[in-house]
Amino acid sequence: MAARDIMPFKSPLGGTYEVRVAGMTASEVFDVGEPVAIVDGGTLTEPPDDATQWILTDGEDGGTSVGIACYGPGTGGVNTNPKTNAAYTTNDEIAYWPASQGTLFITQNVFAAGAGSASAPLVTDIGERYQISYGTTDPIGWGVEKTAGVIGVDVQAVVVDVLDSQKAPIRVSGNAGVFVVFEINATLAAA
């Protein structure tokens, strides 16, 4: 895992920083910028860091209560709860940016199909619904995998824009893509 893999993003296209709070599941280890989901106990947990995509069943009720951690009991050096000034314990509050609310997120972790290697984002990625996966080689961490996301199965990254190293849209600058801006969609299949 790596801190700040996926972060909220504001741009001229929009974006918001709505924050929600849930208690922490026992023995969790995750950093700011990593996916989280509400499980049946009503607490927040991270999907497995196992080179597979983030799926709806990683959370409660088909996974619609998901988001990105604002902070948490991670290995990134911040293991103390700012509210208690002590180590995180079960049910301590964890803030997260919720998915499916129109919030824009940004990452530079973009993977080829299978989440095995890096893949440069292209202007043709705009509008695509991809999987959000944990890459274990190059780069390591959570990001957007260029494999079509399946509604009702996957938590999806809906690509809104591709930015260059200066965070300018590549459709304007003509430079190589570095960052992907996306919405997280956690939609159940039609009944």
What tens digit of pLDDT does each residue of 141-177 get?
899 999 999 988 899 999 999 999 999 999 999 999 9
How do beta strands 43-45 and 35-38 pair?
Answer: antiparallel
d(CA 166, CA 131): 25
d(CA 127, CA 182): 9
Instruction: Name the residue among 128, 125, 170, 177 with its Cα closest to residue 150.
Output: 128
What tens digit of pLDDT does each residue of 33-86 get?
899 988 877 888 888 887 788 988 876 655 568 899 988 776 555 577 777 888
d(CA 19, CA 69): 9
d(CA 141, CA 51): 9
d(CA 65, CA 61): 8
Q: How confident is the model at residue 3 (pLDDT cuts 50, 70, 90)?
A: confident
What is the pTM assigned to this prediction? 0.88
Q: Which amino acid is at 87?
A: A
**DSSP element (H, E) containing 171:** helix 170-173
The answer, yes or no, to whether residue 186 has pLDDT greater than 70, is yes
For CA atoms 169, 172, 173, 177, give the dihedral sign: positive
- Is residue 75 within 8 Å of 15, Cβ to Cβ? no
What is the structure's pLDDT at 171? 93
> Would you list the domain boundaries of the chain?
7-98, 104-185
The answer, yes or no, to whether residue 179 has pLDDT greater than 90, is yes
Task: Measure CA 3 to chain center.
Answer: 11
d(CA 69, CA 119): 25
Tokens of 181: 């801006």
The residue among 144 and 138 whose pLDDT is bigger is 144
d(CA 24, CA 82): 14
d(CA 167, CA 177): 9
With a CB cutoff of 8 Å and minimum separation 6, the contacts of 75 are 1, 29, 31
